[in-house]
Each structure stands twice: as structure tokens, then as C-alpha cells.
Structure 1
Amino acid sequence: MKSNIPVTVLSGYLGSGKTTLLNHLLHNQTDWKIAVVVNDMSEVNIDASMVKQGRFKRTEEKLVELQNGCICCTLREDLIQEVEKLAAMDIDYILIESTGISEPIPVAQSFTYEDEEPGIHLGENCRLDTMVTVVDANRFWDDYASGETLLDRQQAADETDAREVIDLLIDQIEFANVIVLNKIDLVKSSDRDELKAVLHQLNPEARIVESEFSRVAPEEVLNTGRFDFEKVSQGAGWIKELNEDHVPESDEYNISSFVYRSKKPFHPERLMAWLENWPSSIIRAKGFFWIASRNDIAGLLSQAGTSLSIQGAGEWIAVLPETDQQEILAEDPELLTRWDDTYGDRLTELVFIGIEMDQKKIIETLDQCLLSEREMEEDWKTFADPLPEFTGDHPHDHS
């Protein structure tokens, strides 16, 4: 069996041009024998000459349907077993086209973590080389502002799949080495350049490649050597901003980002009012927040387009038993630099990315949502709390 067979994973929302890209790569890459795992074989144009030339291989079993791509379901096992069989063949490269509603992180994790079944560890035989996301330049802002769920569009994995379209798009964009900005022939150059600047702010580490009809040079997405799981996992713009690795602003299009930080908690009623009047200039926000009426649990806020969600992110370290606190602080001494004698690690850190944001006003209005000095002395449990209850991760949430 060959070792370290490189693998490229293609993701992107339905209609973005993933399958067109796959076909383009198969017809324009002549040096390697490429195996393919796809969700719909009928859409892939494999002609007889390619099979005869030995440029395409497939197992006899049905090709894997990745549907929602979640690693917690049996589809992950199918993918792992399928790729292991392909790796045993006389091939040079594996291309995986995930479905249009697939999240890329679980697919990548299949190559990173050892499978529970004995003897199957894809990392021993394969090397995840590139994570590619195809973005439809012509439809991105329509999808961004649609407010529709996958269920609304009858594209959901099942009846419990409540993901919003924009959340899926953002997940795919933020976890990529290469973003193929496709269908640029359908948009004005100024709109294309602005969208490129936005994509760069969302994922500063990704290489952005423009294309028409998904025509890109194969070397842009094959055997690039770009993938590093830890690096890509920390590559999203909001994470970099949160870690004080400031993403340069795009002055020409007034695209910027900043972190709102506070060591005072929010009053739940005033925060709710602020969320209900969300500034339209903010295109992406994510981070953790401290709310007085839920003093033990950290909140996680995530926004993209019309989609805005809050959920519980676990207990603050300050809530844990003293021995657990000391153990965590010993492992991560940096926490001590912001540890408060009274409130411990409780704080708010929210990243905002937007176009023509009024940063000063956003900060001022959020400050008005914090507890006053008088309220800091009151019983916080008595505050009216109209915010939705915190929930844990839903089945398709891998944040």
C-alpha cells in the first residue's frame, strides 16, 4: 500500500460549481491516476477514454454519499472505509466531493483522528492536502441575506436539520485552504473585489482563486501541501482577531474588524434589546459573553447575515472546584493575566467583522448594556431575563 496519498476535499454550497470543478480537474490533470469519491456519480463526466487510460479508478461498491458529513454518524465510517480501499489501489491521488450541505470540519477530522475500528487510520496511508471551498460570486449576497434554512429550501439532511444557509456558507469559507471564487463573469469587477476583501476578512489564511465555469489551474487545488489541521482550525478571521492577531482592514471597501471586550456582565434585558436592533453593517460576529443572570455559564454568540444564535459554552473556570481551577491555570498560565480576584475568568470577548461599521457607536451602545455600578451590588438573579435559554450543540453544530 502506498503511503501518504494526497487528498483534496471539495466543498461549497449547492450550485456553486463544485462538480464543474471536479470535472475540470479530471479532464485537465494528466499526470496522476485519480480516484474519486462523490455524492452523485451521474453528475461527474467520466468518459471511457479516461478509464481506458487508467486515469480514473473506483471501487465496485457504491460511492459514498456524504449527506450532512457529520462524524458522529455512520457516514463517517463509510467514508473512512471507502478511502482505505482506494488507498490500497494503484492510484496517485484521491478527490472527494462532499455534498453541497456538508460541513468541511468533520470530513477533515476523518483524516486526522484514528478510527475506532482496529487497523483503520487514514493518516497512515493518506495525507489531507487541500480543503477547497467553491463560492458562487453571483449568489453569495442573496444567500447571505435570505434568512432561509436548508429545510426552507428542501435541502436539509433530515427533518431535524435546522441549519441556516448562511451558517453553512460561513462554515465552508472559514475552514478552507483555498477559496475558489467562481462565476466572476456574472458580477461587476467592483463587486467581485469587494467580495474578495470580505472573504479575506472571514478567512485571512486562505488563498482566493478567481474562476469562470470553475476553470482553475490544477496546481491551485491539487498537491498544494497547504493543509494543516491546527492552522486551518485557527484560521478564521474571528479567531485571529480574538487572539489579538489583527486582520488588516480593507480601506477601499471600508471592511474592518475589532474585538469588544468587557469585564462587567451584561444586563439581560438591555442585551436582548441590543440584539433585536442588530446593526446591519455587521456581517459576521462570534465570541463569548458574560450575562449577569446566568453567572455560572459562558455564552457563545454567533452571527452571520440574518442568522443569530446564542448558546451555552460551558461553565466558567471560576465556577469549578479549587483543585480543578488550579490544574487548568497551571496548564494555561496565560489565563492568570486576565484573572479577576472576584469574578475569575468571566468576561465578554466578541469579534465583529463588517462593512462601514460605526465601531465607536457599537462599543458605546454595548457599554450601555453592561451593569451599572449600582446594579453590580444587587442580586443578579432577580433581573428579568428575556433571552432565549442556552442550549448545547445541535447535531450539526461543530463550532
Structure 2
Amino acid sequence: MTANSVSETLLGLDSLLTEEERRWQTKARTFASDRVSPTIEKDFEDAVFRREFVAELGALGMLGMHLTGYGTAGANATSYGLVCYELEAADTAWRTFVSVQGSLAMSALAYFGSDEQKEQWLGSLASGASIGCFGLTEPSGGSDPAAMLTRATRSGDDWVLNGSKRWIGLGSVADVAIVWAQTDEGVRGFVVPTDTPGFRAVDIESKLSLRASIQCDLFFDDVRLPTSAQLPGARGLSAPFRCLNDARYGIVWGVMGAARDCLDVAIERSKTREAFGKPIGAMQLTQLKLADSFVEYEKGMLLALHLAKLKDAGALTPEQISVGKLNNVREAIRIASTARSILGGDGITGDFPVMRHMNNLESVRTYEGTDEIHTLVLGRALTDHAAFR
């Protein structure tokens, strides 16, 4: 692992990590710095998703690393969080990839799939030989999945799937989609190979965020599936929500990586940029900005570590994950914005990563539950009254 930055040294997180956890962090940081960082500004500008990285991440054991069996690593929650942290410090696109592949598609198969489904897909997804996506969000209401319009109906011994999904990561490069649909028996999950007739994925190209990633519209036009395509263990929305909680947990760590990168750039710039005859880092207002940003970064990291310990103990609740996702994304955005102000006009250029992180974090603020949804989750926990409707 490269030498710790000033912000990391001051935080002193290393002393709270095990040797195995630090090993995972080192692997992720090396991959991020050697593979992602050298081209990410151009990849973001040109909207390039580097598929060759997928197998490399698989070889490093980072795909579905929180799972056990079928070639997965069986790593603990802190190790998985640290991988998310280091990947997002390079760019949100690659933490998003690990989340979609591992915490969503692979988790759905691991938790709810049949033995045959697991045997067919989990090994190839873990190695990166295959790519998976997770189709839950719909155009008419991402925050209200209970109102989904995609429907699967019985036709003899088969299922026939019709409808659409939106903002589905990796849809056009995926080999398999985990698709959630209404049935006469409630919401169910289906394993849909993307070469099935009637399945179509269209890239969303007008993005100003997550440009080194892929998000899609999915369309299902009389997609005929065998009975064996249904995830046998998935009943109702609690099934996709369990997967979403895995992904949200990774976000709690990941966004702190983006915050760290912005903070480190601002600290370094404050030492070299001069105004009024001295470095701007010698000015009180700049030091106030840096100190406030560091305190929020430290709090976010300690919150992530606390949630990791709860997760490994089997005691982490959805409400606690909402605290982490709401706080850490919100504070990462504030840290990035403050860093941009320290950089002045240069902060909006591709010479620095800050504006790219700011744009990406706006997407993270929206997906896996908006600020508003997580606020209402906490409000319900605090008052015993649901204010969603």
C-alpha cells in the first residue's frame, strides 16, 4: 500500500484493523492506483467502461467477496468495506461495479437461488468470467418498488415476463440479470440470461455522472422463462431489500474513499497555492474548511467501522445502514464541495479529481435509497409512525 496521506495518518485507522483487513486494503489500493487512476479522467470524459478490469477484480477475489463458497473469498465486513473505500477513492464507477456484481446479483443468487442456479452462475460471476445485473428500479418510481409494473405470468409450465426497468447498472454488458417482478403470488425474483429472446438493454447516454460506468434501461417483451428461472427462496420485497442492504453497506465505506481523495487533494493544494504572499493553507478560513472536512471524514470512517463490527456479529439492522448511507454520502458531498472551493477555479477542471467525485456522488445520493427515503426510515424507527404515504 502506498504511504498514508496526512488525513489517514491523523485518523489512525490502521491501528483498528487486523492484518488480514489491511491485506485486502492494500490489494484494493494497488489495483485502484495502478489500473484505475492512470486513465480515469479520460475514461470519465469519454464514457469508457473498461471491461478488462472485471476479470482482474475477479482474480483478486473482490467479486462477491463477502460470500462463501463457489469461489468467493468469505471475507469479513471490514475487509469488504475497505475494498469499497479504496476503489471509490479512484472512482465511484468501480465501487459501483463491485456492488452491483457482488452485493446485488451474486447476493441474490447466494441467498435465494437454487443449488442449480448457484452452480451455474456464482463461480463465473466470482471470477469475472460473467457479469450480472440487478433489475429492480422502474421508470415510474424508483423509491416505491412495491408499485412495480413489471409482471411475470404463468404460461403452462413457463413464466412470461413483460415490463421495463431503469437505471440498471451493467445491463448492456451483463450475461445474467436478476429481475424482480409482480406475480399473482406477490413480488418474485427471476434469473434471466440476457441472451433470452425478448430481453433488451439500452445504455443511458446522457449522464453527467458515473460516466466510467454503465447504466441502462431494460425491456422485457414476452420473455419466456422456465420454472427453474424463479429464485425459490425469494418471497416478497424483503428479498431484494436484503441485497440492497449489502450494497448500501458498501456505499457507507465507498463514499469515504471519494471524500478522502478530495480532502487529500485540497490539503496538498493548500500548501502549494499562494495568495497574498503566503500559502492559502496558512490562512484561518482555509484551515477551518480543512479541519471541518477532516472531522466529518473521521466520523464517517468510524461510523463505517462500527457498522462493520455489527455486521460481522449479525446484529446490523436496516435502520443502522440507513444512518450510514444518509450521513456518509451527505458528508462526502460536503467535503468534495469544500475541497472544490479550496482549489478555486482549478477545481472544476479535469486536472483534479474533485468535480468528478462531486458528480459521481450525486448519483450515489440517489441510488440505493435517496436521502429522503433513508430519513423516513429513521423517522419511522424513532417515532413508530411510517410517513412514506
TM-score range, shorter chain: under 0.3
Bigger radius of gyration: 1
TM-score, length basis structure 2? 0.26
Q: Give me the TM-score of the superposition, normalised by structure 1.
A: 0.26
Select the structure that is richer in helix: 2
